[in-house]
Homo-oligomer: A and B are copies of this chain.
Amino acid sequence: MIKVDIVGLGNVGTHLRRALSKTADVASVNPRTFDGLRRDCEICFIAVSDSAIDGVAQKISERLASDSILVHTSGSTPISVLENKSRNTGVFYPLQTFSKEVELNYENLPVLIEANNEATENSLRQLAAAAGFKSSAASSEQRKSIHLAAVICCNFVNHLWHLSDDYLKRNNLDFKLLLPLIGETFGKISKVSPRDAQTGPASRHDMKTLEKHLDMLENNEELRTIYKILSDSIMKYYAR
């Protein structure tokens, strides 16, 4: 079994340990004392906060065999932070939000992989495959783009739900009423592209409904502005 050390006891470290323990000989390493770090481990994961990666990598590099693979798990940190800290370096970025308390199914978990040489990339992709993950190669630049897209697809989307919740409360209606409809909206994009899944008044250029909605929002400047900008944007993509 491949020897894998995971430095960091947080959300990512905990989930990585669980996910890899079936296919690898995994050891957890305290990122302050480095107790338990195995000089001869084949892959050493650094799963600490972004700002701590540089310092932790430095300390590990003094304790690791020269051919061990040194890897971090951060989406927004370039691979270059590991430069000169090992001969073989990489990034192994799981695209999921982890909470220690929430169990996850790791089957097909998307993982973005980058490495400073081909042999290292192959080792990381093999490990991902053995764990049942779905790995893709992505450069540091691409990981930055994915992070930006995740903000739009998750944080902004959640904010639209938040604004709707507030709006419905003011009309004595319960946001939970919309959950089945929202669930179906999400369900659709696993089958067709979001472009093909679109429905609603803006995609039909139904100006009567759009104007009625803008009138209904005349006392809610914030939501009115967002309604207008997103409707205008939708209309650009669909023929009249």
Q: Which residues of A contact B (CB under 8 A)?
A: 76, 95-97, 108-110, 112, 136, 138, 141-142, 144-146, 148-168, 171-175, 177-186, 188-190, 193-195, 197-203, 209, 212-213, 216-217, 222-223, 225-227, 229-230, 233-234, 236-237
Q: In angstroms, how far is the closest chain B Cβ from the Cβ of A183?
A: 7
Which of B186, B194, B200, B212 is A162 in contact with, Cβ under 8 Å?
Answer: B194
Residues of B near A217 (CB, < 8 A) are 148
Q: How far is the CA of A134 from the CA of B133 in the complex (A)?
A: 39
Copies of this chain, how many?
2
Q: How far is the CA of A226 from the CA of B109 in the complex (A)?
A: 29
Closest B residue to A154 by CB, please name it: B185
Residues of B near A178 (CB, < 8 A) are 95, 146, 149-150, 153-154
Given A175-B194, A178-B146, A160-B153 contact (CB < 8 Å): yes
Q: Are B181 and A96 in contact (CB under 8 A)?
A: yes
Q: Are B182 and A157 in contact (CB under 8 A)?
A: yes
Q: Are B233 and A173 in contact (CB under 8 A)?
A: no
Q: Are B226 and A158 in contact (CB under 8 A)?
A: no
Q: How far is the CA of A178 from the CA of B108 in the complex (A)?
A: 12
Q: Are B179 and A190 in contact (CB under 8 A)?
A: yes
Given A178-B95, A178-B150, A194-B162, A145-B157 contact (CB < 8 Å): no
Q: How far is the CA of A83 from the CA of B215 in the complex (A)?
A: 26
Q: How far is the CA of A198 from the CA of B196 in the complex (A)?
A: 28
